[in-house]
């Protein structure tokens, strides 16, 4: 039996001439998400996508609800452009709703196909009356119904549905290019990565690992964070870059108050190296203004001065409570608060420089870490392919 899922998308539809491109990307992302399930096809008509399946609709809906660009998905039934057929489908739908314990409903019809001779209010009345005749224990409530049965009368067929699963919205992954995400085990950077993805940016995460200062538990945390992000992106390629030698060199040769900023600059350079390998066009961090001493405007400036790529900071205007709220919704919060140190908390200076001067930083940093040491770190990077849990 063929099952139908009706997909609505928002922003993607608004993109004028680029619309086809966005729709194609979205359809490809949906196909990817549905891989391994009995998919028949994905079709489009103006403003809607139709997914047909041979089964496993629940799983398909779950996966689709993680595809960026998608606003909502509904299991639907289609009917010929004939009021009697529409009634049959509507009654079947409401029988299911009644079986699930719902008791009040209303019918809401849209009729983009003006060639269909019966106007929406009349369809509502006729179908509503038929449901009341055929399905026991249901009453109409036009103001706050438990179930809204929707009927869309389109060019070729009519579509009937009442359930709806929200998607994340935003833009299909990839339409904005590709970026490297500096992913620590903290609360912020996974949220920053998700926000970048929601604007269509693919991400390649890098994690700087300072074993034995930070344990392998810290790395497991980052892997688990990637598993959550992979629900939205499909397989993720994580770079784990050994950072111990660099960090040690910085600590032995440089003043304590500049350690944080030095570390950040090294991370930027290395992330830039990965970006080159991965043909990524931007770096993403979880920084936001004022959260810690290094996250002042001059701190951020001294940090990004060492790379040519744009450094995007999706969290820049969010306060910690808002970030935590988003991390909880995303499902990364509980992973992030597991109590393992990251490399920055191991060596936090007692009196960090809050307003570092770029030139002064560069001067004091010179010679501490050789280009060879940086190249070696990239050459020794491990890449892990991570899928969703």
Contact between 186 and ligand ATP per CB under 6 A: yes
302-361: which residues touch ligand ATP (CB under 6 A)?
342-344
Determine which residue in the list 79, 94, 183, 300 makes contact with ligand ATP, applying CB under 6 A. Answer: 183
For residue 353, what are the CA distances in angstroms to 158, 292, 311, 364?
A: 65, 11, 21, 13
DSSP 161: E
Q: Evaluate whether 332 touches 190 at the Cβ level (below 8 Å).
A: yes
Q: Can residue 186 be called a binding residue for Mg ion (CB under 5 A)?
A: yes
Residues 16-75 interacting with ligand ATP (rule: CB under 6 A): none
> To the nearest whole angstrom, how small is the minimum distance from the Cβ of residue 26 to ligand ATP?
28
Distance, in Å, from the CA atom of 26 to the CA atom of 32, rounded to the nearest integer, reads: 10
* Count of chain residues binding ligand ATP (CB under 6 A): 20
d(Cα 264, Cα 286) in Å, to the nearest integer? Answer: 12
Shorter beta-carbon distance to ligand ATP: residue 78 or 285: 285
Q: How far is the CB of 292 from Mg ion (least distance, A)?
A: 8
Binding mask 235-274 for ligand ATP (x = CB under 6 A): --------------------------------x-------
Interface pattern 190-209 for ligand ATP (x via CB under 6 A): ----------------xxx-
| Residue with Cβ nearer ligand ATP (152 or 188) | 188
Select from 89-97, 185-193, 240-248, 301-309 the region that touches Mg ion (CB under 5 A): 185-193
Whole-number minimum distance, CB 291 to ligand ATP, in Å? 5
Estimate to the nearest angstrom the gap between the alpha carbon of 230 and the chain centroid: 9
Task: Report which residue's Cβ sits closest to ligand ATP.
Answer: 186
| Nearer to ligand ATP (CB atom), residue 296 or residue 388 | 296
Task: Report helix, strand or coil for 71.
Answer: strand
Q: Which of 113, 143, 108 is nearest to 125 (CA)?
A: 108
Using the rule CB under 6 A, which residue among 77, 93, 124, 285 binds ligand ATP? 285
Single residue of 202, 287, 304, 365 touching ligand ATP by CB under 6 A: 287
Q: What are the residue ranges of helices labelled H in 319-384? A: 320-330, 333-336, 343-346, 358-365, 371-379
Residue 39 has φ and ψ, to the nearest 5°, of -85, 130
Q: Are 29 and 69 in contact (CB under 8 A)?
A: yes
**Binder of ligand ATP out of 126, 152, 188, 224 (CB under 6 A):** 188
Residues ≥6 apart with Cβ < 8 Å to 190: 183, 225, 228, 229, 286, 327, 330, 332, 335, 336
Cα gap 282→299, rounded to integer Å: 19
Q: Which does 204 bind (CB under 5 to 8 A by kind): Mg ion, ligand ATP, none?
A: none
Cα 361 to Cα 148, 257, 263, 298, 343, distances in angstroms: 62, 11, 12, 11, 20
Is 184 a binding residue for ligand ATP by CB under 6 A? The answer is: yes
Q: Does 286 bind ligand ATP (CB under 6 A)?
A: yes
Chain positions 352 to 381 lying near Mg ion, rule: CB under 5 A, are none
Q: Are 6 and 23 in contact (CB under 8 A)?
A: no
Of residues 147 and 343, the one with the C-beta less far from Mg ion: 343
Positions in the binding site for ligand ATP (CB under 6 A): 182-184, 186-189, 206-208, 267, 285-287, 291-292, 294, 342-344
List of residues contacting Mg ion (CB under 5 A): 184, 186
């Amino acid at each position: 039996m063929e099952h139908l899922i009706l997909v609505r998308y928002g922003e993607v539809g608004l993109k004028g001439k680029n619309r086809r491109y966005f729709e194609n990307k979205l359809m490809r992302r949906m196909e990817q998400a549905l891989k391994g399930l009995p998919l028949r096809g994905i079709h489009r008509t103006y403003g809607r996508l139709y997914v047909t399946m041979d089964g496993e609709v629940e799983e398909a809906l779950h996966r689709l609800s993680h595809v960026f660009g998608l606003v909502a998905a509904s299991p639907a039934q289609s009917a010929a452009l004939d009021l009697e057929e529409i009634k049959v489908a509507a009654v079947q739908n409401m029988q299911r709703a009644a079986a699930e314990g719902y008791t009040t409903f209303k019918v809401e019809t849209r009729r983009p196909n003006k060639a269909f001779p019966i106007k929406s209010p009349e369809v509502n009345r006729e179908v509503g009356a038929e449901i009341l005749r055929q399905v026991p224990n249901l009453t109409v409530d036009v103001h706050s119904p438990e179930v809204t049965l929707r009927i869309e009368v389109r060019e070729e067929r009519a579509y009937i549905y009442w359930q709806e699963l929200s998607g994340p919205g935003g833009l299909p992954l990839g339409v904005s290019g590709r970026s490297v995400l500096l992913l620590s085990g903290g609360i912020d950077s996974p949220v920053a990565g998700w926000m970048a993805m929601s604007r269509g940016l693919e991400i390649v995460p890098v994690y700087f690992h300072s074993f034995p200062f930070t344990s392998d538990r810290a790395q497991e945390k980052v892997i688990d964070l990637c598993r959550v992000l992979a629900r939205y992106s499909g397989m993720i390629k994580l770079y784990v870059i050994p950072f111990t030698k660099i960090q040690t060199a910085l600590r032995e040769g440089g003043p304590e108050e500049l350690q944080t900023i030095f570390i950040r600059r090294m991370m930027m350079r290395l992330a830039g190296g990965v970006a080159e390998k991965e043909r990524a066009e931007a770096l993403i961090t979880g920084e936001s203004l004022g959260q810690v001493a290094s996250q002042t405007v001059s701190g951020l400036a001294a940090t990004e001065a060492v790379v040519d790529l744009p450094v995007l900071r999706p969290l820049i205007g969010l306060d910690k409570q808002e970030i935590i709220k988003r991390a909880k919704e995303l499902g990364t919060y509980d992973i992030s608060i597991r109590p393992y140190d990251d490399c920055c908390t191991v060596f936090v200076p007692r009196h960090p420089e809050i307003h570092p001067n770029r030139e002064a930083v560069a001067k004091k940093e010179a010679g501490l870490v050789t280009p060879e040491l940086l190249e070696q770190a990239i050459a020794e990077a491990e890449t892990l392919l991570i899928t969703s849990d």
